Amino acid sequence: MSVYKMCYFVLLFALSLVGISSCEPAKIIGSCPPTLPVDICDPTCGSESPCTKPKQLCCPTACGGAMCVDAVTQRHFVDVVKPGLCPEQPRGAWVCTDMCTTDSDCPRALKCCPNRCGAYMCQKPDVDPAQPAA
């Protein structure tokens, strides 16, 4: 009788391992920010070594590497052009790295516009005189 119990527990243990290995990792909501301007030129993460912290993605760096970073808001792959115009006189911080690629990357009514350094970042748009007032 003890042999049967042993087989039962081994079978139960094997089935539990199959159940664990078939679990999919949690789906991370969000996406990578625009290419990261850091000097990490080798991948520190990837399919062989995934990110271990929750809510982090393995994202590319400017020189061809990859690193784990917090996911940004979910990107919309339909480019939405928001109302208004990019400021004629760029304003904002002297950040010389793109922080957005399209208006869809920006929250609320902000638009993706060049700043004083020429890099793109989310900014409050100027009113478009050709657009009717709401």
Q: Which of 72, 117, 112 is nearest to 91 (CA)?
A: 117
Q: What pLDDT was estimated at residue 7?
A: 47
Tens of pLDDT, residue by residue over 29-52, are 777 877 777 788 888 998 888 999
The more confident residue out of 80 and 20 is: 80
Computed over every residue of the chain, the mean pLDDT equals 75
Q: Are 78 and 45 in contact (CB under 8 A)?
A: no
**If DSSP codes are grouped into helix, strand and coil, which group holds residue 56?**
strand
Q: What pLDDT was estimated at residue 124?
A: 92
Q: Say yes or no to pLDDT of 6 above 70.
A: no
Q: What pLDDT was estimated at residue 77?
A: 60
